[in-house]
Amino acid sequence: MSADQALLIIDYTNDFVADAGALTCGEPGQVLAPKLIERADAMQQSDGWVLLPTDVHTPHDPYHPETKLFPPHNVRESWGRDLYGPVKNWFDQHQADDQVWLFDKTRYSAFAGTDLDLRLRERHITTLELAGVCTDICVLHTAVDAYNLGYQLVIHRSCVASFNPTGHSWALQHFANSLGATVI
């Protein structure tokens, strides 16, 4: 790892991970925490970047397509939108670090409607390590956009989860077979 790499911990919030979350992965998401922290520490130690693209919504927004698909989740300034457990603690300790930042996203992909690509290119980042939830939704859509923008992709199986085991398995194969990602 080096300064040209970034770890994206995608949507690791209470609503997607905690038992009482609105769209929880439950235990498959909860067990990721130690590995996510391990990867974040390793990325920092190698002068890489740790980014936390985090889903945010307004409840019952009639113009957002997810309103028709899912119950309200990750509502701004709610418990559900807070980072989950040990990852929240890690972020609280490191949020002032120059190479760590959390940013809002309102679509599945961390690139859609954000300045992520611009910020990565300014920092000469060429390789993205994707982690978090859900493997077959937000991680997948971020991976597709990253691939189309020319980034190299790395996905650790122990750092992604979904509430849909079939979708999770399919996405891991898709990362390797269709996006050329290194899946470890």
1 has pLDDT over 60 = no
Cis peptide before 25 (omega within 30 of 0): no
Sorted by where each starts, the structural domains of the chain and their CATH numbers stand as 5-183 (3.40.50.850)
Lowest mean pLDDT among 61-70, 77-86, 119-128: 61-70
Mean pLDDT along residues 12-17? 98
| Helix spans in 6-123 (H) | 14-17, 27-30, 33-45, 85-94, 116-122
State the amino acid at position 159 in one-letter form: C
Return the pLDDT at 66. Answer: 85
Cβ atoms of 25 and 17 within 8 Å: the answer is yes
pLDDT, tens only, 113-123: 999 999 999 99
73 has pLDDT over 80 = yes
Lowest mean pLDDT among 33-42, 58-67, 122-131: 58-67
Mean pLDDT along residues 64-79? 88
Per the confidence metrics, is the pTM higher than 0.85? yes
Lowest mean pLDDT among 1-5, 51-55, 73-77, 82-86: 1-5
∠53-75-20 over CA atoms, to 5°?
Answer: 95
Return the pLDDT at 65. Answer: 85
Instruction: Report the candidate in 125, 24, 8, 136 with the shortest Cα–Cα distance to residue 70.
Output: 24
